[in-house]
Amino acid sequence: MASKILLPLLLLLAAASPAALAAFDALQMLADKPKYGTFSKLLAQTKVAEEAGQLRSASLLVVTDKAAKPLASLAADKLRSAVANHVLLNYFDPIKLDEMRTRTALLPTLLSTTDKRLGFVNYSRADDGQMYLGAPGAPCIAKLVKVVAARPYSVSIMEVSKPILPPGFGDPVPAPGRRAKGGKAKIKPSASGLDESKIAAPGQAAGATGEVFPDNPGFAPVAAPK
């Protein structure tokens, strides 16, 4: 994995202390990072920042101002859902993602508390180690760029190359089997909807193609890239 992603995280891990595990204030953590100004305004406008602050642990996926247009242009009835889907309900960083037993996983988001069909993000790791994320029913084409800020083991903020929007929320969905830039594997979409009967209970053992996170409310495996 690229050192520009891992090095800042390793420095944060080394400096971790109990005081660093305070409440999650996304707006404060992004206050001195103007390149994410549009995303910060959307977090405040939709009150997602306030909701995220009540989580015991979380990971926030942010985009730069340049990449935020598809998100910022959403209608009001879709904006809150789209922003909430960028908050993962557990602590993740590139190291934790890289250490997964499998190359794919379905990660619950803040949106899953109100929409169990759309409130998930697909994670996929390509042959070259590059990590991608995407909404159910769409290819994983949002590239994990870098760690922006972190309170290790509690909160992380990571930049992705583009917003993670469910089908119908923004740009047209790329055709299945599209090759993600920078990767050697074709990242295929998962099913367009979620079958709640297939979502494993918290703590259930993982199958051959999925990873289970006991702290999360649910999980359903997705097919590994070929």
The answer to whether 63 and 39 have CB atoms below 8 angstroms apart is yes
Domains of the chain: 3-165+184-198 (2.30.180.10)
Question: 125: closest CA among 22, 12, 225?
Answer: 225
Burial status of residue 177 (CB atoms within 10 A of its CB: 0-12, 13-18, 19 or more): exposed
pLDDT-above-90 percentage for the chain: 54
Is pLDDT larger for residue 69 or for residue 18? Answer: 69
Band (5; pLDDT cuts 50, 70, 90) = low
Q: Look up residue 102 and give its two tokens.
A: 């499998």
pLDDT, tens digit, for every residue of 17-51?
Answer: 333 444 579 999 999 999 999 999 999 999 999 99
Average pLDDT, the chain: 75
Closest CA relative to residue 147, chosen from 160, 157, 135: 157
Averaged pLDDT, 170-196: 43
Residue owning tokens 């999980």: 219
